[in-house]
Amino acid sequence: MFVVVNAVAIPDHLRGYLSRFLSEVTTGLYVGVVSARVRDNLWERAVSAAGSGSLTLIYNDAAREQGFALRSTGSGSRPVLDLDGMLVIGTGAEDAVGVEPDDVDLPGASLSSPDSVSNAPIHRERRSRVRKRTVTIAKRDNRGHEPVSDEDRHAGIS
C-alpha cells in the first residue's frame, strides 16, 4: 500500500521514526510502501508523538471513489467532508462566518473530525450509466468496401 505523510513542526525523534519505514523525499514529506497494519501502527505512534506539530497521511483505498483516503491531525488540520465517498477538504470558512458543523445540511454528506476520517469500508450501490448497445459489424474487404454477393456480381451490380 502506497503511503504519503506530510509532517510539519514535529520533533526530531519522530522524523527519525518515520524515516525507518518511509523515505523522506523533501523536508517533512515521506513516501513509501507499507502494509495496512504497519500504516495504522505508524499513524498511532506518530499522532501520539507529534506534540504541537501537524501530520497528514494519504494512502490508497479502493473502497473510496477517488481511490485514496486521508487522515490528518494537529493545529493546521482542516475539516474533511465525506460526500458519498468523495473526500472534500474544508477551507475553514465555516469558522469565519460562524456556521457550526451541525448546521451543515448537505444530502449524503457527513462532516468528519479533522483528527480522523472513518476508515470503514463504504458500501453503496453503483449504478451503471453505460447503455447497452447492439453493434452490427459488416465484413469488409481490404479496401474498406462491403462484399458483393455472387448474385449481384453476376447481375452486374456492384
Q: Which CATH number goes with the domain that contains 48? A: 3.30.70.240
Per the structure, the complete domain to which residue 57 belongs is given by: 2-118
pLDDT category, 13, cuts 50, 70, 90? very high
Q: Is residue 16 part of a domain?
A: yes
Look at 13 and 149; give whichever has higher pLDDT: 13
Q: Is residue 130 part of a domain?
A: no
Give the integer Cα–Cα distance in Å for 69 and 59: 6
Residue 147 is predicted with a pLDDT of 64
Q: Is residue 36 part of a domain?
A: yes
Residue 146 is predicted with a pLDDT of 65
Q: Is residue 139 part of a domain?
A: no
Q: Is residue 81 part of a domain?
A: yes
pLDDT category, 83, cuts 50, 70, 90? confident
Residue 139 is predicted with a pLDDT of 57
Q: Residues 41-72: pLDDT tens digits?
A: 999 999 999 989 999 999 999 988 899 999 99
Q: Is residue 60 part of a domain?
A: yes
Q: What integer best gives the mean pLDDT of the chain?
A: 75
Residue 5 is predicted with a pLDDT of 98
Q: Is residue 98 part of a domain?
A: yes
The distance of Cα 144 from the centroid of its chain, to the nearest Å, equals 45
CB 66 within 8 A of CB 86: yes
Side-chain-facing half-sphere of 46: CA atoms under 13 Å: 32
Residue 17 has pLDDT above 50, yes or no: yes
Angle at Cα 72 formed by Cα 24 and Cα 107, nearest 5°?
140
Q: For the chain, what is the domain count?
A: 1
The DSSP code for 152 is: H
Residue 22 has pLDDT above 60, yes or no: yes
Q: Is residue 40 part of a domain?
A: yes
